[in-house]
């Protein structure tokens, strides 16, 4: 079974701490209506919104 490094990036503004930025990013990622569906997998962009 292969192993992959998966990355997801988002710019977070208007928060006071790194923890708040992480919490907001997590909430956005878990929101079913979020459009955060593009990931970098081993250097290849994968858009899950096209499924």
Cα–Cα nearest to 30, from 16, 5, 10: 10
Position 35 scores a pLDDT of: 87
Q: Report the distance separating Cα 32 and Cα 18, nearest Å.
A: 24
What is the reported pTM? 0.70
Position 50 scores a pLDDT of: 66
Give tens-digit pLDDT for 3-51.
899 989 999 999 999 999 999 999 999 999 998 889 999 888 889 886 6
Question: 11-35 b/e with 16+ CB inside 10 Å = b?
Answer: eeeeeeeeeebeeebeeeeeeeeee
Position 51 scores a pLDDT of: 63
Phi, psi of 27, rounded to the nearest 5 degrees: -60, -40
Position 33 scores a pLDDT of: 92
């Amino acid at each position: 079974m292969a192993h992959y490094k998966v990355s997801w990036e988002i710019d977070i503004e208007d928060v006071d701490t790194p923890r708040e930025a992480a919490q907001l990013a997590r909430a956005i990622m878990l929101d079913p209506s979020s459009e955060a569906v593009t990931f970098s997998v081993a250097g290849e962009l994968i858009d899950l919104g096209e499924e």
